[in-house]
Amino acid sequence: MTDIKNFNVGSSTSTKKKGKSLPPKLIIKLGKFVWETMWHTMMSKIAPRNPSGEYIRPSSQFRNFISAEKGNLYPAVAGRYHLYVGLSCPWAHRTLIVRALKGLEEVISVSVVVPSPIAGGWVFNQEEEGCASLAQLYELAQTGYTGRATVPVLWDKQTKTIVNNESAEIIVMLNSEFNELALNPTLNLYPEGLKEKIDWWNEKIYNSVNNGVYRCGFAQTQEAYNQASDELFTTLDEIEAALETSRYLCGDNVTLADVRLFTTLFRFDVAYYGLFKCNRHRIQDYPNLGGYLSDMYQLQSVAATCNLESVKQDYYGNLFPLNPGGIIPSGPDMTYLLKPHARHRVGKSADLQV
């Protein structure tokens, strides 16, 4: 290994005259400046920020709706719609869970895209709709599109366009508009009598937990990180307290609020705890949240939508600015997800039948 003290600027093996050594602190200072400049440049591409260095998530651009009502531009029919998802993405994972719980696997087809640092986005394993990447699919849907190409995508195979790319809206459609085609039509994850409470939890959880972990991981100033981290763990503490007397967020049965929370919690100890610096507590360290996560994971059809290896590979292997070496950690041990959780004893408890 070369001793930095003996490194001579402008020297060569054929030159006998020794120059002055470059002080190590200057090399470190220069390296830090170069890396920080490159880091901010790369982060600006994957994580737009405000002047305070806080991550600002762009809004989804395609917001049309499928409806079971006759005459709608996008009617709820079998075989017409297709989901594009990334297995590591928590937003896309929501749609897979609701699709599975409702029994819509034969009604709405799915393709999995994978992240490519070289391509700078999601790509297909093989061409779909004549496209090699998700960005090209967006361009096919809207000529001249220059926004972000994100998952999930609810695609209309008939008109060759994107119906919707907002996960919160896609799962509402999957829950209610395909009941005549679903294997579990009576399962209602967004019941009328609980909508106000579900929406309240959704707003709180989105700001400080779902998006909160990204606000921690993508923060570009210490102040932005501190605020996001404090809000994240304050909300997790609130959820922990609520789950003391309630099996799920809104009572005895699973709702869309639980689906939206679960996909973040599932990735928390694996990716967000370490890579995103959300390391104040692990989810499994919370008595109620840990059991709740196991409860959700063990619901029929849910575990089949979860892929821990893809989560680790995609987060640690592809978010270069956060993990330049690309080293994938061997842990953590997540076998606790399969252990008995006793959550059915909380509250009035009625086991979800799916």
Catalytic residue numbers, as ranges:
89, 214
The contacts of residue 167 (CB under 8 Å, 6+ apart) are 91, 92, 94, 95, 152
Alpha-carbon distance of 296 to 341, in angstroms, equals 10
Alpha-carbon distance of 73 to 63, in angstroms, equals 13
Alpha-carbon distance of 79 to 353, in angstroms, equals 26
First-to-last alpha carbon distance for the chain, in angstroms, is 61
Alpha carbon 341 to chain centroid, angstroms: 25
Strand order in the sheet with 131-133: 131-133, 121-128, 109-116, 81-85, 153-156, 161-164
Helix (H/G/I), strand (E/B), else coil: 213: helix
Alpha-carbon distance of 12 to 321, in angstroms, equals 34
φ/ψ of residue 326, rounded to 5: 65, 20
Q: Locate tokens 């600027």: which residue?
A: 9
**Whose CA is closest to 89, among 267, 325, 279, 332?**
267
